[in-house]
Structure 1
Amino acid sequence: MTSDPVVVIGNFDGVHRGHAALLRTARAAEPEAPLVVVTFWPHPMSVVRPDQTPLLLSTLPRRVELLREAGADDVVVVDFTAEVAGWSPAQFVDAVLRPLHPARVVVGENFRFGFRASGTVATLAELGAGQFVVQPVALVTDGAQPSSSTLVRHAVAEGDFGRVRELSDHPFRFSGVVVQGDQRGRLLGYPTANLLVAPGLAVPADGVYAGWVTRLDQPDAPRWPAAISVGSNPTFDGVQRRIESYVLDRDDLELYGVEIAVDFYARVRGQIRFAGMEPLIEQMHHDVEDIRHLLGSF
């Protein structure tokens, strides 16, 4: 058994099917070796071209969690700074890869690294000659185009969570600490757990969704079916965008200050500005019944 690891390099935002394929290939190539993933935080574009930084599909802890679920034994996070962005390919290899003593490095066939993405797979192989093998992996496609974080972002923005699961093999998750809202939901008979929409993170378009809520402060906590609203409550002239989750048939949950995960499964409708409380309550009743039916099929 070799103690030298197989190293997989990538950004891995959202950990979609293409990312998982890289890890499976790495594991198959060296089944007995530790599998180490190298990723970057913050997103390199936030340093290189801040005006083009994409909305991220997951927080860093969630990315690490997904990578471990996909088979990583360890995850090394490179703090991506302006200095790192200026490294030559050789500097990158010397600073990041050589200290890990890899037996093999697995990357996507389109992998680029170093200053202005000047390094290619061939460059990496030249720099690693005599120390590690470089194995490029063909991109995973859906039959028409390669799987990518960009495709997942588009699907999230459109509320197409069936497509998200096709691309990712896991649901889109938004997590955060429950804050106190306007407490209108309780008065309406539908108390909600409210999360603020953090800047920089991908969020579905405003509307109502079916999904699940799980508290993250308890091991093996159950997941609860939920009606999820994304938006600013236009009926009440709200301005702050939030994710509000009503756990079906539960009005006894005390979740203020608790970190929860909201997993989105299906879009029910877009956001509507209602003429008053009565039509809103009637629509909420219909939404809950629709969501109960939708989640019953999962």
Structure 2
Amino acid sequence: MSAPLLLTDWHSIPDAARGGTVALGNFDGVHLGHLAVLRAAHAARPELTPAVLTFEPHPREHFRPDDPPFRLTLLGEKCAALAAAGVRVVHALPFDTGLAAMTAEEFVEQVLHRALGAGHLACGHDFAFGHRKGGDAGFLAREAEKRGIGLTIVPALSDAEGPISATRIRRLLQDGYPERAATLLGRPWAIQGEVVHGDKLGRVLGWPTANMWIGRHLEPARGVYAVRARLADGRLVPGVANIGRRPTLGGDPQTRLETHLFDFDEDLYGQEIAVELLHFQRPDLKFDGLEALTAAIAADAAEARRLLGLA
């Protein structure tokens, strides 16, 4: 699976990247509902290059910068998930004050028609765009038809619990249900980031960890998880991880992800890895000293091995 062509400037799109089927949306999480939109776009014009138009940062990050982080997928992970779904071109439009001020009609004419030369469009039934969300799916249908562009409006994909949405997946992760979130995503949810230096305490205690900051990702339920890490070279390594602020050690101002990889002793500092949360084991706890903490980590690791079928 090769990475899609990533374009971030709609003013200068190469000819080879124009004229495709373009699925529209934020695609945060690239969940099963999003995959339905991608399939609809491709089915309408299978001879055209499958493309996605999304926004970076997420418009909510632009308009409400003080909100807590909420992203399910940052751009790199989003592109990887889109590539796995067959997308060849990703237009990640920089969402700034200029784009936010563009009217819905200007967006259709200047971006979708002139810049992208879209051959066919697809979006969810609730897609809204343009200044103050002045355009909806109905408006898009009328404007696309004027320009000879086809449009497929895809209804929400639902299961027994209701429509599949990024909001619902976020809630499941915050409540400690990564398995249920994975069912709606079609894959395990992962936190991707650079392995950074910590205080090396884990190594002193006999449980070395790869440390990452949560950053702009949604903060899931704090606690211990059975995990699988995707390394930069593609290897998958099982392990146990803690998401929290280390209350036993006095507390941290930021939430971190500390992952102990089983039977692994390589230097990962500075590398980008993705840690998939597979099973939630217990909430983050404050222990009475390092001896109790070390015993808890050993028990957590044994339980993670059992959950992952390694025991």
TM-score by length of 1: 0.92
SS of the aligned residue for 1:71 comes to coil
Partner of 2:222: 206
* 1:69 equivalenced with 2:110 (yes/no): no
**1:217-256 matched pairs, under 5 angstroms:** 218=233, 221-240=234-253, 241-250=255-264, 252-256=265-269
Distance (whole Å) between structure 2 residues aligned to residue 144 and residue 235 of structure 1: 38
**TM-fit CA distance, 1:153:** 1.0
Match of 2:143 among 124, 127, 137: 127
**TM-fit CA distance, 1:23:** 0.5
Report if aligned partners of 1:171, 1:263 keep a CA contact under 8 Å in 2: yes
Report if aligned partners of 1:45, 1:53 keep a CA contact under 8 Å in 2: no
Report if aligned partners of 1:40, 1:79 keep a CA contact under 8 Å in 2: yes
SS of the aligned residue for 1:272 comes to coil
* 1:292 equivalenced with 2:308 (yes/no): no
String of CA shifts for 1:5-59, please: whole Å, max 9, x gaps. Answer: 2111001011111001100111112222111110011111223344557611111
**1:1-298 matched pairs, under 5 angstroms:** 4-51=19-66, 55-98=70-113, 99-129=115-145, 130-198=147-215, 200-216=216-232, 218=233, 221-240=234-253, 241-250=255-264, 252-296=265-309
Report if aligned partners of 1:152, 1:167 keep a CA contact under 8 Å in 2: yes
- Alignment RMSD, CA only? 1.7
Distance (whole Å) between structure 1 residues aligned to residue 40 and residue 297 of structure 2: 47
Distance (whole Å) between structure 1 residues aligned to residue 308 and residue 218 of structure 2: 23
The one-letter amino acid paired with 1:36 is A
Distance (whole Å) between structure 1 residues aligned to residue 178 and residue 87 of structure 2: 25
The one-letter amino acid paired with 1:188 is L
Aligned residues: 290
**TM-fit CA distance, 1:224:** 0.8
Distance (whole Å) between structure 1 residues aligned to residue 162 and residue 198 of structure 2: 42
Q: 1:134 to 1:209 in 2, by over 3 A?
A: same
Distance (whole Å) between structure 2 residues aligned to residue 236 and residue 52 of structure 1: 27
Q: Which moved more, 1:232-241 or 1:179-188?
A: 232-241
Distance (whole Å) between structure 2 residues aligned to residue 112 and residue 259 of structure 1: 34
Distance (whole Å) between structure 2 residues aligned to residue 53 and residue 74 of structure 1: 30
Distance (whole Å) between structure 2 residues aligned to residue 126 and residue 11 of structure 1: 22
SS of the aligned residue for 2:141 comes to helix
Gaps of 5+ in 1: none
Q: Which runs of 4+ in 1 moved over 6 A?
A: none
SS of the aligned residue for 1:296 comes to coil
Q: 1:190 to 1:145 in 2, by over 3 A?
A: same
String of CA shifts for 1:159-213, please: whole Å, max 9, x gaps. Answer: 2111111110011111222111121111211111111231x32122221100011
Partner of 2:8: none
Q: Which moved more, 1:283-292 or 1:138-147?
A: 138-147
String of CA shifts for 1:236-267, please: whole Å, max 9, x gaps. Answer: 113243110001133x2211222221111010
Distance (whole Å) between structure 2 residues aligned to residue 54 and residue 187 of structure 1: 32
Distance (whole Å) between structure 2 residues aligned to residue 54 and residue 149 of structure 1: 14
Same amino acid, percent of matched pairs? 36
Q: Which moved more, 1:3-12 or 1:149-158?
A: 3-12
Gaps of 5+ in 2: 1-17
The one-letter amino acid paired with 2:58 is H
**TM-fit CA distance, 1:114:** 1.2
